[in-house]
Chains A and B, each alone.
Chain A
């Protein structure tokens, strides 16, 4: 069966510091990968998606970037965090192609920028 991991689970970082969040998927090949952010009391916002190694699409202009160095690894980064980057970050995967409907989410990373 497939599993998705995210780490760290929680993170407190000062403004201006760098960020690296990691997501890995097991038990599937060539998944579509996604990063979402959920701000307090708000809905999920799609940040980035990837359909293959090195292929990243950004949905919202922002202070963050994403990379996919391996088939089942997805990384969210920032060079300098802003207060507004605080939130709950969720990684998700879906099957590729026509079976891509359903999103399978990881446990999330709670980021607090102070």
Chain B
């Protein structure tokens, strides 16, 4: 069956360290993969999109990698800060040829950065 999994429900790290979150998928061949941030009681906010022909993408302290052979994306936050504490969701479009996105989301990793 088709799955998208974020294998860490929660991650606690020290401020200043690099946080690395993992997203794995099975039985999909996504054209792209996205990462979103969700704060408690709020809607998710788009962070980064990486396409299948891109190995790596960066935005300020964020870095995303996409390995279509391993069927895995890694999301890194360097020099982490307490303000980075949130739930991070990975997502892919399971029907890229459809007229509308049919995004499926992982269940999220709750990241806590301690001072």
What separation, in Å, do the CA atoms of A57 and B104 have in the docked complex?
16
In contact, B43 and A102 (Cβ under 8 angstroms): no
Interface of A is mostly: strand
A76 interface residue (CB < 8 Å to B): no
Selected interface stretch from B58-66, B68-76, B105-113: B105-113
Contact call A104/B46, Cβ cutoff below 8 A: yes
Q: Which residues of chain A come closer than 8 Å to B49, judged between CB atoms?
A: 101-102
| Interchain CB contact (< 8 A) of A101 among B42, B45, B89, B101 | B101
Q: Which residues of A contact B42 (CB under 8 A)?
A: 107-108
- Evaluate whether A43 and B106 lie within 8 angstroms (CB atoms) in the complex, with A32-B100, A51-B99, A57-B100 already known: yes
Chain A, residue nearest B49 (CB)? A101
CB pair A101–B93 under 8 Å, yes or no, is yes
Partner of A43, one of B41, B45, B102, B105: B105
**B-facing mask of A22-47, CB < 8 A → 1, else 0?**
00000000001010000000111010
Known: A101-B93, A108-B41. A46 touches B103 (CB 8 A): yes
Docked pose: A104 CA to B45 CA in angstroms: 7
Per-position contact with A for B22-58: 1 when CB-CB < 8 Å, else 0? Answer: 0000000000101010000111111001000000000
CB proximity to B under 8 Å, residues A71-105: 88, 90, 92, 94, 100-105
Residue in chain B with minimal CB distance to A41: B107
Cβ contacts under 8 Å, B108 to chain A: 43
**Residue from A50, A100, A101 whose CB has the most chain B CB atoms within 10 Å:** A101
In the complex formed, the residue of A with least CB distance to B103 is: A103
* B96, closest chain A residue (CB): A101
User: Given contacts A101-B32, A102-B34, are A107 and B43 in contact (CB under 8 A)?
Assistant: yes
The interface residues of chain A lying within 8 Å CB-to-CB of B104 are: 46
Chain A residue contacts of B103, Cβ below 8 A: 34, 46, 103
> B43 near A51 (CB under 8 angstroms)?
no
**In the complex, what's the smallest C-beta–C-beta distance from A67 to chain B, in angstroms?**
16
Q: Which of A46, A50, A105 contacts B43 (CB 8 A)?
A: A105
3 closest A-B pairs (Cβ-Cβ)?
Answer: A105-B43, A43-B107, A44-B105
